[in-house]
Structure 1
Amino acid sequence: MSTPLEANQVEAIQGYDAEKRYKYLVKEVVANREIWILTDEHGCVMLNTDYEDCVPVWPNKEFAESWATGEWEDCKAESISLNKWHSRWTHGLEDDELAVVIFPNQDEDGLVVYPDELDFELKQQARKQNQR
């Protein structure tokens, strides 16, 4: 379970470029053992790029909630345990031919990665943390 972030922390992290937000997400998700999505009455919110249908993910509740504006204001931030992500979501997204958009913010799109790439990065980070 993550500790709520202060407003100044949220603002500083929102200013990171897409690559730095990806690194931040991987560390936070492993440290807190949860990843955040947005849901509505139809299920998980999706984004579309020119080439991929994607599920956006965030490292903390505050960032997911900050995305829930405008047409998405009725969406709710929902956490998924890291274990459930590894055991169900990675394979489910692959089976549905969906990509993952990492930590988009209002100013910039996030990096688009394949579910197995994100899974690999999360497992690598977990190994690093366990070696400490």
Structure 2
Amino acid sequence: MNQREFEGVTRQPAAIRYEYFIKKAVDYEEIWGLYNDGWATAQDDMGNTLLPFFPNEKFAETFAKKEWEDFSPRRIELAHFLEKWLPGMKSDGVKPSIFPTETDSAIMDVDTLRIDLEAELEKY
């Protein structure tokens, strides 16, 4: 990915970044989170716990700021994410925060994210 693509994608609204995330996660069979003695989390306005996920290491590294500045990107295999992470997040009441930037994020229902990832996988 070149700098032009990077900048173009980060300027897109959350819904477009979500679509980009789905395609890249399936293309590369990986998802990226932020880790430092535990996974980075955030909270929405209603107190729900959010877990941020990114389509690649560079995006994760770039947005590891403020409360996440001591966190480093960590790779999660897509199959493991689908089989273990999403069921665990659902049972814990944690919501995925897809591709957060300084301006916004796509806060998704676990089931919606799973359905979208599986639908994209069926295209391959």
Report the TM range for the smaller structure's normalisation.
over 0.9
TM-score normalised according to structure 2 size: 0.94
The DSSP-based 3-state class of the residue aligned with 2:55 is coil
- Alignment equivalent of 1:39, drawn from 35, 38, 46: 35
Question: Are positions 1:62 and 2:63 aligned together?
Answer: no
Q: Where does 1:71-90 land on structure 2 (aligned, <5 Å)?
A: 71-90=67-86
C-alpha displacement at 1:69, in angstroms? 2.3
The DSSP-based 3-state class of the residue aligned with 2:122 is helix
Question: Are positions 1:15 and 2:7 aligned together?
Answer: no
Unaligned runs of 5+ in 1: none
Q: How many residues align?
A: 123
TM-score normalised according to structure 1 size: 0.89
| Moved >6 Å (runs of 4+) | none
- Alignment equivalent of 1:49, drawn from 28, 44, 54: 44
Instruction: Give 1:65's aligned amino acid.
Output: E
- Residues 66-96 of structure 1 show CA distances to partners (whole Å, capped at 9, x for unaligned) of 0112332210101100010011000110111
Match of 2:113 in 1: 118
Instruction: Give 1:127's aligned amino acid.
Output: E
The DSSP-based 3-state class of the residue aligned with 1:59 is coil
C-alpha displacement at 1:102, in angstroms? 0.9
Identity percentage of aligned residues: 30
Partners of 1:99 and 1:10 in 2: CA distance: 25
Unaligned runs of 5+ in 2: none
RMSD: 1.0
